[in-house]
Amino acid sequence: MCLAVPLKVVSIDGSKIKVESAGLVREVRADFLPGLQEGDFVIVHAGFAIEKLDPEQARLDLEAWEEVANALA
């Protein structure tokens, strides 16, 4: 099972992008999602951005993850 956290695109260098969530920044590939822009939200699997999320869906998903984190704290 895969649990995906929305990641925000913070920079783009060709097919390599940097994504961020909760201060954690990672470089991943964006070969499957041409046309991404800084500020977009994506889902990443195995080092590749595989889905672009609607901003509202990303917000709802991040709120749900925050609830989970708070429940476990």
Q: For residue 30, how far is the Cα from the chain centroid?
A: 11
The overall pTM is greater than 0.95: no
Q: What is the pLDDT of residue 47?
A: 94
Q: What is the pLDDT of residue 2?
A: 66
Is residue 28 within 8 A of residue 49, CB to CB? The reply is yes
Q: Name the token pair of 2.
A: 């895969």
Q: Collect all residues with Cβ–Cβ distance below 8 Å to 4 and sequence separation of at least 6.
A: 43, 44, 45, 61
Spell out the per-residue pLDDT of the chain, length 73, in tens.
567 889 999 999 999 999 999 899 999 999 999 999 999 999 999 999 999 999 999 999 999 989 998 999 8
Domains of the chain listed by start with CATH number: 7-72 (2.30.30.140)
Q: What is the pLDDT of residue 45?
A: 93
